[in-house]
Amino acid sequence: MPCGPRSTAPTRSCSSPATERRSTSCTTTTTWCAATNAGIGHVVALSGLDADTTSPFCYAVTYGHTEQLLRDSGCAVSIARTSIFTEFFLRFLHTARQQGQIRLPAGDGSISMVSIADVGRCLAALALAPPTGTSA
């Protein structure tokens, strides 16, 4: 079943100077428009644990806008929110040990990490299940 009305909007270019949010929004909108036009019945998306359009953290803002665009697209959706990937974080440890510090937007200093393999298994399970329509 199609995930929304077929778009007849002209293709938009994101090559003009714009903020990161506008550029990401344009790219994401184009992606969901293509999914709608292709009749995709269920979109499984990876987002961030801190998705929030009002956050001072750029990735959180981007995730928040992406999630909103997905919800507004009319597509059946399942959104998985992850924290920092363990494998990504481990790359910082060598430098952190040398400098004696690591800088991350971690609020009170607590962070949670997740492995890429675990996230992959969760995304596969979401893809095989009916849409949740929410962030997981």
CA–CA dist 41, 75 (Å, integer): 7
**Average pLDDT of span 69-84:** 85
**Average pLDDT of span 17-25:** 48
Given this model, what pLDDT does residue 52 score?
A: 92
CA–CA dist 44, 90 (Å, integer): 27
* Least confident interval from 28-32, 60-64, 129-133: 28-32
pLDDT beyond 80 at 61: yes
Q: What is the CATH number of domain 20-128?
A: 3.40.50.720
- Report how many helices (DSSP H) and strands (DSSP E) the chain contains, helices first: 4, 4
Given this model, what pLDDT does residue 134 score?
A: 55
CA neighbor of 81 nearest in space, from 45, 113, 29: 45
Q: pLDDT category, 80, cuts 50, 70, 90?
A: very high
Domain ranges of the chain: 20-128
* Least confident interval from 14-18, 39-43, 58-62, 96-100: 14-18
pLDDT cut 70: percent of the chain above it: 72
CA–CA dist 92, 81 (Å, integer): 22
CA–CA dist 31, 34 (Å, integer): 5
